[in-house]
Chains A and B, each alone.
Chain A
């Protein structure tokens, strides 16, 4: 198991990259300047054989942002992203039985539908939550990608269900100057400076039958997507797999050598892969621990001691200090971030 990496060319050129390219071209941007540094020619895109790596796609995004130079770029891009025109992968969304199944497919086929940020679903008693994991080392494009993913899911739910649903939105960044774009594209229920970028919806909305549901075509499309993922060598990125692995073993003794061994690579290769994605082992470990801690506090109602024990900290003082480092908050000062 290794997962796709930042420099692996697996993103179909006429899927998400073309969505952004078409947006930029419709605003009068020159295609050569747009694709500068992407090592891709515009003429090749229409032939349907071009593949982008995450890195190339990020370069394209950087170019597009700079050339478009407008506050609404991320939102316009996002609106066009889902369900999108990605063949069978889009069919699985369009023919879904209900919104929940569409979101499940979005997560299952994220390599095809959302190749830079990996969406993840979480169900609790009253709410469905959707959040995103960095699958590419997004760096300073993180907020742009976050804005695009949020508007993508909102636009998709609007299109599938046929009306505005009461989504609640939290963003892991501070309120930007272009707050009006959030009002128009995402609605008024947006909070900033959250611990994690998160979409939440009351559960009564997620199982409403959809007008375009089609069971058999949906199944066929799903089968085709599974084959596409198999051809890719699995549907997860290296960072996704690492997150899952750490998450599954978080309450065991964990260190770089063990994880490298579990991935079947040498510690040196492992470190090199991490640094290629702009991160390092401790950062990824802290990310998972932070995630687990927040989950245990908020969803399971764990106490300080219980979380501290679960994460194998020797004493609570030490744990509180680490928690402060991950989140900027003490466990007691943690504002409710779900629901």
Chain B
């Protein structure tokens, strides 16, 4: 993903202009202190704090699209940065003792900025809840962005392994069954061959959406590898898992996917297999359900996709 920094140019330009104006005002009304009178501890403490806030501001803005929450956080953090900056200037430039306005420039932006940041974080939390709701059925008991699949908006094989591990432990504790369903598109390589890899990639992304729509709230979908998807189904026996697997199979068969370039309809078929965990660990369960799909594919040979 490209850096989103350029969406926030206004914030950074504004901060730079304000910092410069502050400097000009101080230089106009104050006198520069001699080196001996400068308290370097204060300079380091205040300057360092300001710098760290600036780093936070840049890091946060790099990852955030524009919008209300971003604006609140950006303006708030910029205020705090400005306040620290004026504090640092104070160490180098002496102002007349009767000047009150410098206090305003130095101190006032701080509480305003902190309030804005607090308000922003509150909304960030709300926003995160909304995103979590969107992520349901794609992410289960934990989040690890390093394990996201690179192609589809799903977890990859390593995410699946860790999730199954946690789900197995949970199922053991709750004395509930746990089932896995595997779905594999028949003859997917023909799609890549006939329509090109970009089409195949796009189809996988669309299939991920389709499968998510056909799952229950508690199920989690991951992409194992290639065109093979795995659903983790907590509190589900083998018979029920088979039913759900068949529903997924029907959903794929009924999926009227149109190619990107010509809008041509692709007729897709999927093989499915289900397995319930008995005394399995993660690897044996995955292996078992994958052997199941190999068997299912042998029983349904030569069903073309393209």
Interface string of A60-88 (1 = CB under 8 A from B): 00000000111110011001100000000
Q: Are B224 and A180 in contact (CB under 8 A)?
A: yes
Instruction: State whether A183 and B225 are in contact (beta carbons under 8 Å apart), knowing that A23-B197, A26-B198, A163-B301 are contacts in the complex.
Output: yes
Q: Are B286 and A180 in contact (CB under 8 A)?
A: yes
Instruction: State whether A188 and B291 are in contact (beta carbons under 8 Å apart), knowing that A27-B150, A155-B189 are contacts in the complex.
Output: yes
In the complex, B157 has a CB within 8 A of chain A? yes
Residues in A whose Cβ lies below 8 Å from that of B291:
188
Instruction: State whether A163 and B302 are in contact (beta carbons under 8 Å apart), knowing that A23-B197, A187-B294 are contacts in the complex.
Output: yes
Q: Are A181 and B198 in contact (CB under 8 A)?
A: no
Alpha-carbon gap, A134 to B123, bound state (A)? 59
Indicate which residue in B150, B184, B193, B301 contacts A70 across the interface (CB closer than 8 Å).
Answer: B150
Instruction: State whether A180 and B228 are in contact (beta carbons under 8 Å apart), knowing that A26-B197, A188-B291 are contacts in the complex.
Output: yes
Instruction: State whether A183 and B192 are in contact (beta carbons under 8 Å apart), knowing that A23-B197, A71-B225 are contacts in the complex.
Output: no
Interface string of A6-38 (1 = CB under 8 A from B): 000000000000000001001100000000000
Instruction: State whether A184 and B224 are in contact (beta carbons under 8 Å apart), knowing that A23-B197, A178-B157 are contacts in the complex.
Output: yes
Residues in B whose Cβ lies below 8 Å from that of A302:
none
Interface size class of B (residues with CB under 8 A): 20 to 34
Residues in B whose Cβ lies below 8 Å from that of A131:
none
In the complex, A245 has a CB within 8 A of chain B? no
In the complex, B238 has a CB within 8 A of chain A? no
Instruction: State whether A181 and B201 are in contact (beta carbons under 8 Å apart), knowing that A155-B189, A163-B302, A188-B291 are contacts in the complex.
Output: no
Q: Are B226 and A185 in contact (CB under 8 A)?
A: yes
Q: Are A158 and B290 in contact (CB under 8 A)?
A: no
In the complex, B227 has a CB within 8 A of chain A? yes
Q: Are B225 and A159 in contact (CB under 8 A)?
A: no
Q: Which of B267-306 contact A (CB under 8 A)?
A: 286, 290-291, 294, 297, 301-302
CB distance from A80 to the nearest CB of B (A): 8
Q: Are A158 and B189 in contact (CB under 8 A)?
A: yes
Residues in B whose Cβ lies below 8 Å from that of A178:
157, 225
Residues in A whose Cβ lies below 8 Å from that of B227:
184
Q: Are A159 and B224 in contact (CB under 8 A)?
A: no
Q: Are B294 and A72 in contact (CB under 8 A)?
A: no
Indicate which residue in B189, B197, B225, B294 contacts A180 across the interface (CB closer than 8 Å).
Answer: B225
Alpha-carbon gap, A155 to B197, bound state (A)? 14
Alpha-carbon gap, A16 to B228, bound state (A)? 27
Residues in A whose Cβ lies below 8 Å from that of B290:
180, 183, 188
Interface string of B240-263 (1 = CB under 8 A from A): 000000000000000000000000
Q: Are B294 and A185 in contact (CB under 8 A)?
A: no
Indicate which residue in B193, B226, B302 contacts A72 across the interface (CB closer than 8 Å).
Answer: B226
CB distance from A179 to the nearest CB of B (A): 8
Residues in A whose Cβ lies below 8 Å from that of B286:
180
Residues in B whose Cβ lies below 8 Å from that of A68:
150
Residues in A whose Cβ lies below 8 Å from that of B226:
72, 75, 181, 184-185
CB distance from B292 to the nearest CB of A (A): 10
CB distance from A26 to the nearest CB of B (A): 6
Interface string of B186-220 (1 = CB under 8 A from A): 00010011000110010000000000000000000
Most A C-beta atoms less than 10 A away, residue of B156, B189, B224, B226: B226
Q: Are B228 and A159 in contact (CB under 8 A)?
A: no
Alpha-carbon gap, A80 to B200, bound state (A)? 13
Q: Which residue of B lies closest to A185 (CB)?
A: B226
Residues in B whose Cβ lies below 8 Å from that of A181:
157, 225-226
CB distance from B152 to the nearest CB of A (A): 12
Residues in A whose Cβ lies below 8 Å from that of B294:
183, 187-188
Residues in B whose Cβ lies below 8 Å from that of A69:
150
Starting from the known contacts A75-B226, A180-B225, 19 additional A-B residue pairs (CB-CB under 8 Å) come to A68-B150, A69-B150, A70-B150, A71-B156, A71-B225, A72-B225, A155-B189, A159-B193, A163-B301, A178-B157, A178-B225, A180-B157, A180-B286, A180-B290, A181-B225, A181-B226, A184-B184, A184-B228, A187-B294
Can you list 25 A-B contacts (CB < 8 A)? Answer: A23-B197, A26-B201, A27-B150, A71-B157, A76-B197, A80-B197, A159-B193, A164-B297, A177-B158, A180-B157, A180-B224, A180-B228, A181-B157, A181-B225, A183-B225, A183-B228, A183-B294, A184-B184, A184-B225, A184-B226, A184-B227, A185-B225, A187-B294, A188-B291, A188-B294
10 tightest CB-CB pairs across the interface, nearest first? A184-B226, A184-B225, A180-B225, A181-B225, A180-B157, A180-B224, A183-B290, A188-B294, A184-B228, A70-B150
